[in-house]
């Protein structure tokens, strides 16, 4: 498998003046970013800031209007198999086919992904106590989130993208989900990008911070450096960039 | 992808199988008694003797009355809409369901690009629909076989159900519904939006274009040979004036009528099926192209 060999010291993700326009409105503009391999990057911003737009362009679900994305040094193109295969994606609200069993979902993953790791999927379900014969519609929200995460991990892609993964979960499920993400990132050296509008969730998880507001990147960099530089806490720091007068549009 | 397509459409496949089994049971029951009656009434010898030994017109009339060769509005209207219903029920949710439930984010973020995802599904599901259409056609053709000998196959309620056109009607409705599902993004409105134009095209072609697929032949009535005939389709009571069972009279003229000879049945079937398959291919091609081009 080639999933982690391109890690090295090069950046996992680079975007160059990335922009996406919806009709006359720019959903995101001038987004230039670099995330090092192995980082767990938190993407923070209010609703409508352009987080989902950015993430969908990164994973190849959306064609940029301008600019470019590259993952581990290779250019990404929307709708290309090679781009899609490089990223594991957990979409908001964890879409799964309701009348499929968990096993069916994994069968789908296996038949649509060349690098699929069935052993990993089965082991995770065993550890979490989710029966693979159960139908998706009989699972709790937390279990559905775990199945979605497992599908993204079993794809064995070097970059994992999570779009508001816990916003629909109760506090216990949130904590469990975040714990799983942390341990997966630590074990495999995955690069993770996780978006949220709830800042406190990201504090423990992330070592890299991107603040997005008004369709523009307000700040991006290593979380520790930013905190040291500004002499304030994580949440306070984020808020200072999101306050009305600070936002550049 | 083959497994994925099968898993997502297996309940539809089972539904089609159930309809087929119901149809086959009905066809075997009616078809068997029709065959018995056909033998009893000596209709085979009537057909062999051409213009009718004594008692033949009555025998034919009894048979057709019992088994209904006439254009039966109720039967015909069911026959008319069923292929369209099958097509839109299978086609509309194919993309629209993914958009409605948000599962497109899952389906299209696996390692198969969305255009290929759609193309593979369309090929497999269309293949399934061809099998369903062919099986339905085969069952109905078997069941109608004795009647077809008396009436020919050009009547509206026969022609529409035999040969190639039923399968082509299904594919066309399917193609329209897939495209409508992509554009409208909701299954039920997409079904309606696909069904209406399908029905309109279907009727316009049947009543305006089908009589003129090929230039009709002219038949001039002699002294007696048009008397008492409806000039029409079957032999019903009296053999048709043209002398061939199944000739289709498309219009009357002052001295006779214009007709399509019965042996053009397959030519007409190929022409009409070709039109509907081309419409289906255009709609499905447009859906793949649009899905590839535009952001969902």
pTM score of the predicted model: 0.89
Domain ranges of chain B: 10-44+62-204+265-293
Query: Under a CB-based contact definition with an 8 Å cutoff, are residues B284 and B123 in contact?
Result: no
List, for residues A36-81, the tens digit of each pLDDT value: 999 999 999 888 888 999 999 999 888 899 999 999 988 888 888 8
List, for residues A129-180, the tens digit of each pLDDT value: 999 999 999 999 999 999 999 999 999 999 999 999 988 888 899 988 999 9
List, for residues A212-226, the tens digit of each pLDDT value: 988 888 889 998 888
Interface of chain A toward chain B, CB-CB under 8 angstroms: 59-63, 78-81, 84-85, 87, 89, 91-93, 95-98, 100, 104, 107-109, 111-115, 148, 151, 155
Task: Give per-residue burial for A206-236: e unless 16+ CB within 10 Å, then b.
Answer: bebbbbbbbbbbbbbebbeebbeeeeeebee
Q: B42: Cβ–Cβ under 8 A, 6 or more apart, which residues?
A: B56, B59
Task: Give per-residue burial for A40-65: e unless 16+ CB within 10 Å, then b.
Answer: bbbbbbeeebbbbbbbbbbbbbbebb
B263 class by beta-carbon count within 10 Å (0-12 exposed, 13-18 middle, 19+ buried): exposed
Phi/psi for A61 (5° steps) reads -90, -15
Report CA Rg, chain A.
18
- C-alpha B58/C-alpha B64 separation (Å) is 10
**CB contacts, 8 Å: A54 with chain B:** none
- Two tokens at A178? 């975040």
Which residue in the set A79, A93, A107 is minimally distant from B292, CB to CB? A79
**CB contacts, 8 Å: B3 with chain A:** 107-108, 111
The complex scores an ipTM of 0.89
What is the DSSP-derived secondary structure letter of residue B212?
Answer: G
Q: A95 vs B106: CB contact, 8 Å cut-off?
A: yes
Q: How far is A145 from chain B (nearest CA, A)?
A: 13
**CB contacts, 8 Å: B7 with chain A:** 100, 104, 107-108
- Two tokens at B279? 């419409």
Residue identified by tokens 């992808």 is: B1
- Pairing assessment for the beta strands A159-163 and A87-90 based on DSSP bridges: parallel
Which among B106, B104, B82, B90 has a CA at the least distance from the CA of B10?
B90
Average pLDDT of each block of 10 consecutive residues along chain B (296 residues)?
93 93 87 82 70 64 68 68 95 96 94 94 97 93 84 81 94 98 96 97 94 88 58 48 75 79 92 97 96 70
**A11-97+155-242: CATH number:** 3.40.50.300
Q: Is B97 on the interface with A (CB under 8 A)?
A: no
């Amino acid at each position: 498998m080639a999933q982690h060999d391109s890690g090295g010291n090069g950046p996992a993700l680079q975007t160059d003046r990335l922009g996406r326009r919806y009709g006359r409105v720019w959903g995101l503009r001038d987004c230039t970013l670099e995330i090092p391999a192995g980082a767990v990057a938190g993407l923070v911003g209010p609703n409508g800031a352009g987080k989902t737009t950015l993430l969908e362009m990164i994973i190849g679900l959306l064609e940029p209007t301008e600019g470019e994305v590259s993952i581990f040094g290779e250019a990404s193109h929307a709708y290309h198999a090679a781009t899609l295969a490089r990223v594991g994606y957990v979409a908001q609200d964890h879409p799964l086919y309701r009348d499929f069993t968990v096993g069916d979902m994994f069968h789908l993953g296996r038949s649509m992904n060349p690098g699929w790791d069935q052993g990993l999927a089965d082991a995770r379900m065993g550890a979490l106590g989710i029966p693979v014969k159960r139908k998706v519609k009989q699972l709790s929200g937390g279990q559905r989130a775990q199945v979605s995460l497992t599908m993204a991990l079993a794809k064995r892609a070097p970059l994992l993208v999570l779009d508001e993964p816990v916003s629909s979960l109760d506090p216990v499920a949130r904590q469990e989900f975040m714990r799983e993400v942390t341990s997966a990132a630590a074990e495999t050296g995955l690069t993770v990008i996780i978006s949220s509008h709830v800042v406190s969730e990201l504090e423990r998880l992330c070592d890299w911070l991107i603040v997005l507001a008004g369709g523009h990147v307000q700040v991006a960099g290593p979380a520790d450096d930013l905190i040291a530089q500004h002499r304030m806490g994580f949440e306070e720091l984020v808020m200072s960039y999101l306050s009305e007068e600070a936002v550049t549009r | 992808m083959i497994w994925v397509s099968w898993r997502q459409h297996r309940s539809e496949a089972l539904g089609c199988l159930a309809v087929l089994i119901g149809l086959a049971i009905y066809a075997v029951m009616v078809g068997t008694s029709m065959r018995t009656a056909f033998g009893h009434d000596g209709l085979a010898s009537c057909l062999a003797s051409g213009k009718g030994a004594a008692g033949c017109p009555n025998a034919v009339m009894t048979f057709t009355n019992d088994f209904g060769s006439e254009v039966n509005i109720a039967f015909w209207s069911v026959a008319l809409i069923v292929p369209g219903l099958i097509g839109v029920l299978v086609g509309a949710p194919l993309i629209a369901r993914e958009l409605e439930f948000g599962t497109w984010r899952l389906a299209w973020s696996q390692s198969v690009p969305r255009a290929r995802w759609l193309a593979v599904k369309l090929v497999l599901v269309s293949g399934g629909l061809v099998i369903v259409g062919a099986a339905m056609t085969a069952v109905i053709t078997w069941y109608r076989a004795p009647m077809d000998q008396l009436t020919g196959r050009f009547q509206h309620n026969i022609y529409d159900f035999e040969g190639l056109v039923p399968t082509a009607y299904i594919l066309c409705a399917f193609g329209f519904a897939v495209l409508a599902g992509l554009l409208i993004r909701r299954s039920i409105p997409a079904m309606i939006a696909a069904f209406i134009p399908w029905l309109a095209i279907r009727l316009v072609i049947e009543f305006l274009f089908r009589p003129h697929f090929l230039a009709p032949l002219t038949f001039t009535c002699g002294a007696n040979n048009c008397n008492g005939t409806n000039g029409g389709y079957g032999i019903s009571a009296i053999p048709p004036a043209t002398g061939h069972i199944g000739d289709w009279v498309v219009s009357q003229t002052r001295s006779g009528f214009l007709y399509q000879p019965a042996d053009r049945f397959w030519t007409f079937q190929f022409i009409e099926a070709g039109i509907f398959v081309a419409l289906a291919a255009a709609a499905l091609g447009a859906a793949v192209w649009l899905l590839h081009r535009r952001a969902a």
